[in-house]
Amino acid sequence: MTFNDFKQSLSLSGPSSDCPILVKALWYDAKGQWDEAHDIAQSREGTRDYDRLHAYLHRKEGDQWNAGYWYRRARAEMPSYSLEQEWEELVKMWL
């Protein structure tokens, strides 16, 4: 699956079955289904990529303190660029 394929899948009623789980979480996030995305992030707390997803989700939620906690756990810096750019970066990283 390419990034463009993934973007096109946002017009569907559900994520593609061949979509990696972390990318599936970002699909839910893009569709406004934050809780579903968050459930995936919480499903493997302590795993770096899941913690990174968790950080992004709390940053998007506007909870900067909680986001900072998860970025530290993921050993990542909180981005200074847009949420949209971070979302795209994460999709491309996990595809």
pLDDT digits (tens, 9 = 90+) for 55-71: 999 999 999 999 999 99
Within-domain flag for 81: yes
Task: For residue 91, count CB atoms less than 10 angstroms from its CB and return exposed for 0-12, middle for 13-18, buried for 19 or more.
Answer: buried
Within-domain flag for 33: yes
Predicted local distance difference test score (pLDDT) of residue 1: 92
Domain of 23 in residue numbering reads as 3-8+19-94
Within-domain flag for 13: no
Predicted local distance difference test score (pLDDT) of residue 77: 97
Within-domain flag for 70: yes
Within-domain flag for 45: yes
pTM for this model (two decimals) = 0.96
50 pLDDT tier (thresholds 50, 70, 90): very high
Angstrom distance (rounded) from CA 72 to CA 30? 24
- Counted domains in the chain: 1
10 pLDDT tier (thresholds 50, 70, 90): very high
Within-domain flag for 14: no
Length of the chain: 95
Angstrom distance (rounded) from CA 21 to CA 23? 5
Mean pLDDT (whole number) for 38-65: 98
CA neighbor of 38 nearest in space, from 67, 7, 79: 67
Contact indicator for 1, 18 with CB cutoff of 8 Å: yes
Predicted local distance difference test score (pLDDT) of residue 13: 96
Q: Which two tokens stand for residue 8?
A: 């096109």
